[in-house]
Amino acid sequence: MATWLKNIGSAKNPITEWKEDDVGFRKANKPSIRTGDHLFLYAPGGSRRVFALAEAVSDPEYDSDFNPSKEGSCQWKLRVRYEINLPVSSGVLIDQVSSHRDLAKSLSQKSHIRLLPEESESANSKLRDAKQ
């Protein structure tokens, strides 16, 4: 099982909450995330907060509604089940997650990155503290 950090929304289109049962991916290549993997969801716009922890309950599937000319349309999607899902404003600042790299910068050119075990443990601990 792998753990990922996944962008939701963008700096241009920030979100305040995310309640969707699916998480989308715009890139042409099928994402490496698989059933059973965990995803920390990150809102890069304004807030720069990690706000949810979800488990992938399906492998990525091609989205038959994909429209490349439609803003926000995603080529791939996977279903998720939330362990924690907070309003974005209640999440954890990305800079508070312990890491030897700049996680926000690592995500700037990608929709998702694989987390190292210590990054995952830090994000998990901080997000659970924020939930209380």
**Parallel, antiparallel, or unpaired for β 38-43 and 3-7?**
parallel
* 112, 7 contact by CB (below 8 A): yes
Tell whether the model's pLDDT for residue 28 goes beyond 90.
Answer: no
Number of independent structural domains in the chain:
1
Residue 10 lies in a domain: yes
Whole domain around residue 25: which residue ranges?
3-127
Tell whether the model's pLDDT for residue 46 goes beyond 80.
Answer: no
Residue 9, Ramachandran bin (φ over 0: left; ψ between -120 and 50: alpha; else beta): left
- CATH number of the domain where residue 109 is located: 3.10.590.10
Residue 105 lies in a domain: yes
Kindly provide the residue ranges of all beta strands, DSSP E only, lying in the chain, ordered along the sequence: 3-7, 22-25, 38-43, 49-56, 61-62, 76-85, 92-93, 112-114
Q: Average pLDDT of the chain? A: 92
Which pLDDT value is given to residue 88? Answer: 94
Render pLDDT for 56-114 as a digit per residue (tens, 0 to 9): 999 999 999 999 888 778 899 999 999 999 999 999 999 999 999 999 888 887 889 99
Alpha-carbon distance 79 to 61, whole Å? 9
pTM greater than the 0.85 cutoff: yes
Pick the more confident residue, 3 or 71: 3
Residue 132 lies in a domain: no
Torsion, CA 60, CA 63, CA 68, CA 69, rounded to 10: -140
Which pLDDT value is given to residue 45? Answer: 80
Q: How confident is the model at residue 128 (pLDDT cuts 50, 70, 90)?
A: very high
Which pLDDT value is given to residue 47? Answer: 85
